[in-house]
Amino acid sequence: MTAPHDLLLARCTPGAPRLEGSALDAELARQPAWAPDPERRLIARRFGFDNFYQVMAFVNAVAEIAHAQDHHPDLLVSYAACTVSFSTHSCSGLSLNDFICAAQVSALPEAQA
């Protein structure tokens, strides 16, 4: 298992296996701001902003991470918020890749607005 600060420097791995059981529980505990869906197949977090310009700056910063990691989230964009959801489609659930990207998105300066 990777230490929380290591997720900020980690790279996503193609074909990462699905996390289950205690391994998944540990990753969820390390990212408490990210909520799993009832089936624990994705994690999501809502980020609030003062205006649409800030939302779009955040979306573009998320896109940079997604491109660099080749791991792309679903985004729900509105005037003053963006909800980011990660899942690993190739394993039909959550992999370490989702938690790497979640940690990196949470650390964005734009996420602190």
Residue in this structure with the two tokens 């791995």, named with its chain if needed? 13
Domains and CATH numbers, the chain: 37-113 (3.30.1360.20)
Q: Rounded to two decimals, what is the model's pTM?
A: 0.93
**Is 2's pLDDT higher than 70?**
no
What would the mean pLDDT of 22-50 be, rounded to a whole number?
Answer: 96
Which DSSP helix (H) or strand (E) runs through 98?
Answer: helix 96-106
What residues contact residue 33 under an 8 Å CB cut-off, 6+ apart? 45, 106
Q: How confident is the model at residue 18 (pLDDT cuts 50, 70, 90)?
A: very high
Q: What local confidence, expressed as pLDDT, does residue 112 receive?
A: 81
Q: How confident is the model at residue 4 (pLDDT cuts 50, 70, 90)?
A: low
Residues 86-99 have pLDDT tens digits of 999 999 999 999 99
